[in-house]
Amino acid sequence: MKTLIIGAGSDLGVHIDGAHIGPVQLASDLQSFYKGDKLSFIQDESILKSRNLSDRRKNEYDIDKFNTSVYKAIVDNYNKEDIFPILLGGDHSVAVASALASAKKYTDIGIIWIDAHGDFNTFDTTITGNIHGLPLAAITGYKNHELRYFHDGNTINPQNAVVVGARSLDPAEKDNLRYAGVTVFTTEDIKTRGVDAVMNEAFEIATKRTKGVHVSFDLDVIDPSLAPGVSVPEFDGLTVEEAMAINKNIVNHFDHVVSYDLVEYNPLRDIDRKTEQIAINLIAQIIKNAEKKDKYGKIDLTQHQAEQYKIKIVPPKEEQTETNPGFKIVPPSEPTPEPTPTETITQPPVETPQPTVEPTQAETPQPTLPQLDRL
């Protein structure tokens, strides 16, 4: 399937500057291996950004204007051909445009929101007035209609919405999530249950009676000691390996995924380009697999793109420069190492029994939100 990269360079949803530069930097990095179509939207530099602590609707008009342009561009491209949109933010308020554009195209979709925050405040419950803390509520139709006035389709059913990696929720925001029926998996859930268990359940919820899933990945889900380049860091986060495992699980469910965001990269707060390296590897993995999807959304492993964009993660080094950012995209011509005899021996036994009977509804209880009480 044809991919479309959308750079949504806006940080109007947060009082910290810098996230609007993130998409520009990442799009520049992608030029070494991505030759597909790109769109770029940058906030008007003449805007006087509000930072007033008493302003509970910071930059609302300008955010709506920006998101309207992004939304219409994605919808227009959907109408022309089958595409897989990959949006690079920008603060997380830009996801209102991308998620609702996919909802317009597919009518009924679920959403998986990978984020240290719930982003489920309303204009009544927000403490900071930063609109990047309100987008998921707007996307799922829970108040905040002012942020989606440009959308004339369905909102996403909150019972098909899942937050993954939450560890910083406002008290009133927790109530909003409960009332709306959104499922929340905390960072602690990932640490105790494992990535695969959490993500498999997240996709089970998001795909129930839907026609696809929009994934929105906020880099602040990763611990800021490992990924410092975000505007609002929250400590005790995920490791880089866990973040990559989440992305791999998304790829494993790619027949359901219809669009993807990667947001909140702030180059002004990055150190030694650590966060940039992580972001590029996440995006490259998505591009590689998106281009293997056929027009029905299935992964076609026979296509030429199956061997493109192999990714090798290189740990950041002190000597990194602009020409050596600390990550490497392995060219298709580089051979994949054959497994050694030791690797073959350690494979799981063939006789491992596979489940043959689907668990009953009684055996698989519906997800609840008791974990919110622990935050």
pTM of the full structure: 0.81
pLDDT tens string, the chain, 375 residues long: the values are 899 999 999 999 999 999 999 999 999 999 989 999 999 999 999 999 998 888 999 999 999 999 999 999 999 999 999 999 999 999 999 999 999 999 999 999 999 999 999 999 999 999 999 999 999 999 999 999 999 999 999 999 999 999 999 999 999 999 999 999 999 999 999 999 999 999 999 999 999 999 999 999 999 999 999 999 999 999 999 999 999 999 999 999 999 999 999 999 999 999 999 999 999 999 999 999 998 876 555 554 444 433 444 434 344 444 445 544 444 433 333 444 444 444 433 444 444 444 444 444 444 444 444 445 545
Tally Cβ neighbours within 10 Å of residue 134: 31
Catalytic residue among 15, 20, 132, 253: 132
Catalytic residue among 29, 60, 62, 119: 119
Q: Check 11, 189, 261, 264 and give the catalytic one.
A: 264
DSSP characters over 244-294:
HHHHHHHHHTTTTEEEEEEE---GGG-STTHHHHHHHHHHHHHHHHHTTB-
Among candidate residues 115, 223, 276, 291, the one labeled active-site is: 115
Active site residue 115: yes
Question: What is the spatial distance between Cα 154 and Cα 212, in angstroms, rounded to a whole number?
Answer: 14
- Residue 296: Cβ within 10 Å count: 9
Q: Tell me what pLDDT residue 41 has.
A: 97
Give the pLDDT of residue 342: 40
Residue 220 bears catalytic tag: yes
Q: Catalytic: which of 62, 218, 234, 276?
A: 218
Dist. CA 360–CA 364, nearest whole Å? 6
User: Which one of the listed residues 15, 20, 92, 151 is annotated catalytic?
Assistant: 92
Residue 290 near residue 264, CB atoms below 8 Å: no
User: Could you confirm whether 264 is annotated as catalytic?
Assistant: yes
Report domain extents, the chain: 2-374
Q: Among 15, 62, 64, 117, which one carries the catalytic annotation?
A: 117
**What confidence score (pLDDT) does residue 294 get?**
67
256 among known catalytic residues:
no
**Tokens 């440009």 label which residue?**
150
Q: Which of 64, 220, 242, 291 is catalytic?
A: 220
Question: What are residue 110's DSSP bridge partners?
Answer: 213
CATH architecture of 2-374: 3-Layer(aba) Sandwich (3.40)
Q: Regarding beta strands 327-330 and 310-313, do their DSSP bridges make them parallel or antiparallel, or are they unpaired? A: antiparallel
